A and B are shown apart, each in its own frame.
Chain A
Amino acid sequence: MRRKLLAGPYLIWMIGFIIIPLVLIAVYGLTDKNGAVTLANVIAISTPEHAKALWLSLELSFVSTVICLLLAYPLAMILRKRNIGRGSFIVFIFILPMWMNFLLRTLAWQSLLEKNGVINGILTFLHLPPQSLINTAGAIVLGMVYNFLPFMVLPIYNVLCKIDDNIINAARDLGASFWQTLLFIWIPLSVPGIISGITMVFVPALTTFVISNLLGGSKILLIGNVIEQEFTRGSNWHLGSGLSLVLMVFILISMALIAKYDKNGEGTTF
């Protein structure tokens, strides 16, 4: 009885802020202005503009995820090798920027990349030609990688920490080279962390609209921007919800992946 009482607030939270909003999105997404049930809002994803925005989002978030993985895996290995505990300073430094508002950090990148920004200022000082960095797809990918990298590092790091040193030593004793150990020991044992990291990066990158607005100059339309505009400018909540339902498919796929590969919840972020 007492336990139930304690769970009460959590239950109210879940119902009020997770379940009801989800149901509302489904209701809006599957009805039209007059309240009639329709699939038109979901099918609207196939119009050229929406399909292109979705494809571009998939492309950019895929690239960001791959870059994050390539950066994060060696970093996690280094962190583990130095035998640093969970509360270690390096990990702390890594998490520190996440305490600052995500929007502010992205705005900071804007002033770094701008035409008269910090990076071009340094280039000009060194008598190098200034680059046009901002308002490109590259700038968006940079913003995604920067903002979501910790979400890749931490789960991989957590999984790597749990690998017994003896297993690695045994592999090396039996004559496996570094690359063989990496390929046949490290990576297979860290799959839960990798999968968890991939979804933690891919899903927010797929749905972002702030990064593409600030660093892409709104010239590059991602699916997140389309949905945002339907809600805030176009006042077409039905279409916005319908497109959100399509995006939810990708989120469900990633949840299924986690469930398949990370059965014991090893690849948690924190």
Chain B
Amino acid sequence: MKKRIFACTLAAVLAASAALTGCGGSSGTSGSGAGASSAAGGDSESADAGEVYVYNWGEYIDEEVIDMFEEETGIHVVYDMFETNEEMYPIIEAGARTYDAVCPSDYMIQKMIENNLLAEINFDNVPNYSQIDPEYIERSKAFDPENKYSVPYTWGTVGILYNTSMVAPEDVPTKWMDLWDEKFSGEILMQDSVRDAFMVALKALGYSMNTTDETELAAARDLLIEQKPLVQAYVIDQVRDKMIGGEAAIGVIYSGEMLYIQEEVANLGLDYSLEYVIPEEGTNVWIDSWVIPANAKNKENAEKWIDFLCRPDIAKMNFEYITYATPNKGAFDLLDEELQNNKAVFPDIDSLKNCEVFRYLGDDVDSIYNDMWKEVKSK
């Protein structure tokens, strides 16, 4: 009997540790020991206890910034992370754990606004909002029409990455349709996510990437099916490492990866370089912004947190850590000229003229996209 209990406990411990390591450490409080008072059930005193519950993407902040914020304001930060917008949404919706500041992407912010999950930000408490380049505030109107709910944090584009030694100068890709070129058969890496993959096909066909028109979507689906034999693999984060390793000639990638890629190519002393192109049909300009959920318990602290992140020196620290382009004008001015002129990270505004921001299209249209994507993948 005793032995069996021991075996069960052991199994339980093993399974629990497996589960913990398995989910990629999606939860953790900030490193500093400033607030030992952050008991889970302490909401009665939380209003003045000075806490802020932050929910952000993984590896999406310089951790030192959290410590600095705690030191300067005395507010204790409870910091959790998520991996996809879709994973974050039900947690905010259910309200089982309330957060004060969250950093979702454009289309998800729109969905949260439409479902009344967000609180209006009191911009009087966010003086550093003035540091944000008006260009991105303007673009934010696609998902936050009156700019009442969101403060842009990072932005970027999606484009084509190619290997200079595997792509002849005359074949250098300039448009999405080049991803259908038979010359690149078996050398193409596509994004393994519904909206990104359809964005490529819809833009290649000259349609809006936010289309809800079923004939346009069907055309995009057929185009993706036509492309499938040429595709080496559908991947997400692995595009970066596969391209650095020379596994494929050409791939669809988020611009945020470019600084890392350029550094890595230089560090490894590779005999080729990887270049980034924004296709001329236009692409997805994405914006991740800070928002405050409607059920936030520490709204003013959340505003202090957002304001802190908008401070140019802090935004610069975060930019250097995350390497995704910052919409913060003040931080941009602090950067080296070489970095300011890095077109992969900070493209010319002109090259973005055909670009769009993803919009939330409603659950029904989402399921049409999902079904069509399944058709592509099962072919």
Residue of A52, A132, A225 touching B186 (CB-CB under 8 A) = A132
User: Which of A69-77, A184-192, A231-239, A258-266 is the contact stretch?
Assistant: A231-239
Q: In the docked arrangement, what's the CA distance between A52 and B374, Å?
A: 11
Residue of A10, A50, A115, A229 touching B247 (CB-CB under 8 A) = A115
Residue of B84, B232, B371, B374 touching A217 (CB-CB under 8 A) = B232
User: Which of B5-13, B151-159, B200-208, B209-217 is the contact stretch?
Assistant: B5-13
Residues of A near B245 (CB, < 8 A) are 114, 116
CB nearest neighbor in B for A235: B86
- B246, CB-defined interface residue at 8 Å: yes
Residues of B near A230 (CB, < 8 A) are 370
Judge whether B378 and A49 touch: CB under 8 Å. yes
Residues of B near A126 (CB, < 8 A) are none
B96 smallest CB distance to A (angstroms): 15
CB nearest neighbor in B for A8: B5
- B61, CB-defined interface residue at 8 Å: no
Judge whether A221 and B374 touch: CB under 8 Å. yes
A17 smallest CB distance to B (angstroms): 8
Judge whether A219 and B233 touch: CB under 8 Å. yes
With A3-B1, A49-B378, A226-B374 already in contact, the answer to whether A13 and B86 are too (CB < 8 A) is no
Judge whether A52 and B378 touch: CB under 8 Å. yes
A4 smallest CB distance to B (angstroms): 11
Residues of A near B377 (CB, < 8 A) are 49, 218-219, 221, 225
Residues of A near B231 (CB, < 8 A) are 217, 219
Judge whether B378 and A135 touch: CB under 8 Å. no
Residues of A near B8 (CB, < 8 A) are 9-10, 13
Residues of B near A114 (CB, < 8 A) are 245, 247
- A153, CB-defined interface residue at 8 Å: no
Q: In the docked arrangement, what's the CA distance between A187 and B155, Å?
A: 64
With A232-B84, A233-B84, A235-B89 already in contact, the answer to whether A218 and B192 are too (CB < 8 A) is yes
Judge whether A217 and B1 touch: CB under 8 Å. no
B316 smallest CB distance to A (angstroms): 34
Judge whether A218 and B232 touch: CB under 8 Å. no
Binary per-residue interface labels of chain A (116-149) against chain B in the complex, 1 for a CB within 8 Å, 0 otherwise: 1000000000000000101100000000000000
With A6-B1, A114-B245, A116-B247 already in contact, the answer to whether A217 and B12 are too (CB < 8 A) is no
Q: In the docked arrangement, what's the CA distance between A218 and B194, Å?
A: 13
Binary per-residue interface labels of chain A (100-116) against chain B in the complex, 1 for a CB within 8 Å, 0 otherwise: 01000000000000111
Q: In the docked arrangement, what's the CA distance between A135 and B370, Å?
A: 22
- B367, CB-defined interface residue at 8 Å: yes
A100 smallest CB distance to B (angstroms): 12
- B87, CB-defined interface residue at 8 Å: yes
A56 smallest CB distance to B (angstroms): 8
Judge whether A233 and B233 touch: CB under 8 Å. no
Judge whether A218 and B89 touch: CB under 8 Å. no
Judge whether A49 and B194 touch: CB under 8 Å. no
B131 smallest CB distance to A (angstroms): 35
Judge whether A217 and B378 touch: CB under 8 Å. no
Q: In the docked arrangement, what's the CA distance between A235 and B234, Å?
A: 20
Residues of A near B5 (CB, < 8 A) are 6, 9-10
Within 229-283 of B, Cβ neighbours of A (below 8 Å) are at 231-235, 245-248
The total of Cβ contacts below 8 Å across the A-B interface reads: 74
Judge whether A234 and B234 touch: CB under 8 Å. no
Binary per-residue interface labels of chain A (4-36) against chain B in the complex, 1 for a CB within 8 Å, 0 otherwise: 001001100100000000000000000001000
With A6-B5, A9-B9 already in contact, the answer to whether A116 and B374 are too (CB < 8 A) is no
Residues of B near A229 (CB, < 8 A) are 370, 374
- B297, CB-defined interface residue at 8 Å: no
Q: In the docked arrangement, what's the CA distance between A257 and B234, Å?
A: 38
CB nearest neighbor in B for A12: B12
Within 47-100 of B, Cβ neighbours of A (below 8 Å) are at 84, 86-87, 89-90
Residues of B near A9 (CB, < 8 A) are 5, 8-9, 12
- A53, CB-defined interface residue at 8 Å: yes
CB nearest neighbor in B for A132: B186
Q: In the docked arrangement, what's the CA distance between A221 and B233, Å?
A: 12
Judge whether A233 and B370 touch: CB under 8 Å. yes
CB nearest neighbor in A for B83: A232
With A3-B1, A115-B247 already in contact, the answer to whether A217 and B233 are too (CB < 8 A) is yes
Judge whether B370 and A234 touch: CB under 8 Å. yes
A252 smallest CB distance to B (angstroms): 22
Within 198-219 of A, Cβ neighbours of B (below 8 Å) are at 217-219
A237 smallest CB distance to B (angstroms): 9
Of residues B84, B246, B378, which shows the largest number of chain A Cβ atoms within 10 Å of its Cβ? Answer: B378
- B342, CB-defined interface residue at 8 Å: no
Judge whether B235 and A217 touch: CB under 8 Å. yes
Judge whether B247 and A49 touch: CB under 8 Å. no
CB nearest neighbor in B for A14: B8
Within 177-211 of B, Cβ neighbours of A (below 8 Å) are at 186, 192-194
Residues of A near B378 (CB, < 8 A) are 48-49, 52-53, 221
Binary per-residue interface labels of chain B (355-379) against chain A in the complex, 1 for a CB within 8 Å, 0 otherwise: 0000000010011001100110110
Contacts A9-B9, A217-B232, A235-B86 known; 6 new A-B pairs at CB < 8 A: A33-B363, A101-B21, A132-B186, A135-B232, A234-B366, A236-B367
Q: List 21 A-B contacts (CB under 8 A).
A: A9-B5, A9-B8, A9-B12, A48-B378, A49-B378, A114-B245, A116-B247, A132-B186, A135-B233, A217-B234, A218-B235, A219-B234, A221-B378, A225-B377, A229-B370, A232-B87, A233-B194, A234-B370, A235-B86, A235-B89, A236-B367
Pairs A-B, 3 closest by C-beta atoms: A217-B233, A218-B234, A49-B378
